């Protein structure tokens, strides 16, 4: 949907897609993370590329574990929208630490599953800890997501989303599997 919207509006923004493309990794810890190793393993990079076939020129795929895959990204990359659905505490925390400094003013970080009880020790804990450390707050949405908007400088007008920054990112488990 994001790729289609960008195309329809002739936006130059790209999509950076980070995922194991193999499901939840073995780093999941039962007493902390709601998802167990192997959950969501019914997908693949091939399936995601097939689903996004008409938008491949605007997509960059980073297959592997977060934060390891961040080393493949240009150091000066900037983001206007970051959608995070990674389920595990260390991965959520790594996303906060890596993406927040790269957010453009007015940029939005969106965290799936934040408001759901099973994710209180993973997603919610990582988000709350990180943003408390930098004196920012998240806004919890009725659908269980949380969002954080990067502050803007005084008297700065923010262009429409994705007009700033060179990428929009979706991290992990964003796409519903397709049949091959």
- Which sequence spans correspond to the domains of the chain? 2-171
The architecture in CATH of the region 2-171 reads 3-Layer(aba) Sandwich (3.40)
pTM for this entry: 0.77
Measured between alpha carbons, how far is 165 from 177 in angstroms, rounded to an integer?
29
pLDDT digits (tens, 9 = 90+) for 39-60: 666 688 899 899 999 999 999 9
Q: For the packed helices 89-99 and 123-133, what is the interaxial angle rounded to 10 degrees?
A: 30
Do the Cβ atoms of 172 and 112 come closer than 8 Å? Answer: no
* Per-residue confidence in pLDDT tens, the chain, 180 aa: 788 888 888 888 889 999 887 766 666 455 455 565 666 666 888 998 999 999 999 999 999 888 999 999 998 999 999 999 888 888 999 999 999 999 999 999 999 989 887 778 889 999 999 999 999 999 999 999 999 999 876 555 544 444 444 555 555 433 333 343
């Amino acid at each position: 949907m994001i790729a289609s919207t960008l195309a329809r509006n002739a936006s130059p923004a790209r999509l950076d897609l980070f995922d194991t493309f193999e499901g939840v990794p073995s780093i999941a810890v039962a007493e902390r993370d709601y998802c167990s190793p192997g959950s969501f393993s019914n997908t693949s990079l091939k399936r995601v590329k097939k689903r996004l076939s008409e938008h491949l020129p605007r997509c960059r795929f980073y297959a592997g574990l977060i934060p390891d895959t961040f080393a493949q990204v240009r150091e000066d990359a900037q983001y206007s929208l970051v959608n995070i659905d990674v389920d595990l505490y260390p991965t959520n925390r790594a996303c906060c630490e890596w993406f927040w400094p790269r957010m453009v003013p007015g940029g939005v970080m969106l965290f799936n599953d934040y408001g759901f009880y099973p994710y209180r020790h993973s997603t919610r804990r990582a988000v709350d800890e990180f943003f408390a450390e930098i004196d920012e707050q998240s806004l919890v949405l009725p659908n269980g997501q949380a969002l954080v908007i990067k502050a803007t400088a005084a008297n700065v007008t923010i262009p429409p989303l994705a007009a700033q920054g060179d990428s929009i990112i979706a991290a992990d488990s964003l796409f519903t599997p397709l049949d091959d």
